[in-house]
């Protein structure tokens, strides 16, 4: 038994680097809904990994990284339409900065590169704010993607400061005693893992492909970066629903 975890970043009119087009994303979500997939909540996934919850064979965890505003504009209505759940890993200081001023989504933010150039100047136009996060909570649950993503757009902090800073915001804004952590750019080492655990983090999401079995090991949740269309998704879910092909595929294509 394996639960595939899908990783998304942007949903925008046109596809591109770490970006699904609206059409591709809609087709993939329709595929999941039409084929009876259960999209787990992060809590259900956590309990499944800890062997405390049995989940249907056709289960999947949908994750989004970073907290871009296009998630509210384009991804959220599609997920809602198909009655699906997803988990969003937010960079807590980005959301704090984006919430300081009211701002509409910038239609000129057409790709990841544009979002990156705008974030430091107009975070309110490209990053989610706390109101949007609240509005989307019927579809999304939220977890930490650290405080700064290790980017110095607004403030710099040391790696070890990331853990208490992001935990404080998750508690104050969302009332969560955070235990889920998604590593920015998939980067981590044994020292960071040990430090994060000291701060109460328990389950860690990587960008490595592989199987997520109910074996109690929460240190390296494997994810598959979403690409292309529903045919790609169909193929990928077929590969990762089988222990042998899933394992072989992860060796051939680790990322």
- Do residues 62 and 86 make contact, with C-beta atoms less than 8 angstroms apart? yes
With b meaning 16 or more CB within 10 Å and e meaning fewer, what string describes 39-74? bbebebbbbbbeeeeebeeebbbbbbbbbbbbbbbb
**Which segments of 6-90 does DSSP mark as H helices, in order?**
22-34, 42-49, 70, 76-81
Smallest separation (angstroms) from Zn ion to the CB of 65: 4
With b meaning 16 or more CB within 10 Å and e meaning fewer, what string describes 108-139? ebbbbeebeebbeeebbbbbbbeebbeebeeb
Per CB under 5 A, the list member of 66, 96, 97, 162 interacting with Zn ion is: 66
| Residues in binding contact with Zn ion, number by CB under 5 A | 3
Question: For residues 128-187, which are near Zn ion according to CB under 5 A?
Answer: 184
Residue span binding Zn ion (CB under 5 A) among the ranges 63-71, 102-110, 217-225, 240-248: 63-71
Smallest separation (angstroms) from Zn ion to the CB of 149: 6
Q: Does 26 bind Zn ion (CB under 5 A)?
A: no
Q: How far is CA 244 from the centre of its chain?
A: 26
| Nearest CB to Zn ion, comparing residues 63 and 129 | 63
Both structure tokens of 147: 């405080």
Residue span binding Zn ion (CB under 5 A) among the ranges 43-51, 66-74, 103-111, 161-169: 66-74
Residue span binding Zn ion (CB under 5 A) among the ranges 59-67, 119-127, 161-169, 186-194: 59-67
| Nearest CB to Zn ion, comparing residues 11 and 239 | 11
Task: Report which residue's Cβ sits closest to Zn ion.
Answer: 65
Q: Which residues pair with 224 in a beta bridge?
A: 6
Smallest separation (angstroms) from Zn ion to the CB of 91: 7
| Nearest CB to Zn ion, comparing residues 31 and 64 | 64
Per CB under 5 A, the list member of 26, 44, 65, 230 interacting with Zn ion is: 65
- Neighbour-count burial of 101, counting CB atoms closer than 10 A to its CB (0-12 exposed, 13-18 middle, 19+ buried): exposed
Point out which residues bind Zn ion (CB under 5 A): 65-66, 184
């Amino acid at each position: 038994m394996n639960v595939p975890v899908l990783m998304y970043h942007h949903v925008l009119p046109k596809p591109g680097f770490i970006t699904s087009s609206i059409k591709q994303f809609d087709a993939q979500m329709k595929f999941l809904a039409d084929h009876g997939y259960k999209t787990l909540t992060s809590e259900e996934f956590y309990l499944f990994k800890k062997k405390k919850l049995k989940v249907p064979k056709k289960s999947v965890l949908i994750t989004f990284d970073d907290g871009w505003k296009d998630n509210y504009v384009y991804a959220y209505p599609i997920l809602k339409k198909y009655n699906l759940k997803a988990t969003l890993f937010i960079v807590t200081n980005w959301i704090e900065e984006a919430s300081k001023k009211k701002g509409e989504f910038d239609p000129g933010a057409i790709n990841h590169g544009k979002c990156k150039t705008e974030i430091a100047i107009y975070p309110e136009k490209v990053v989610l704010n706390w109101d949007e996060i609240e509005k989307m909570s019927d579809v999304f649950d939220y977890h930490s993607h650290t405080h700064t993503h290790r980017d110095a757009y607004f403030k710099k902090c040391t790696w070890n400061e990331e853990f208490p800073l992001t935990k404080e915001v998750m508690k104050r804004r969302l009332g969560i005693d955070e235990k889920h952590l998604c590593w920015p750019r998939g980067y981590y080492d044994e020292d960071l893992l040990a430090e994060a655990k000291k701060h109460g983090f328990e389950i860690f999401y990587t960008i490595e492909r592989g199987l997520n079995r109910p074996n109690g090991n929460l240190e390296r949740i494997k994810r598959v970066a979403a690409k292309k269309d529903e045919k790609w998704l169909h193929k990928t879910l077929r590969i990762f629903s089988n222990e042998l092909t899933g394992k072989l595929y992860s060796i051939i294509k680790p990322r």
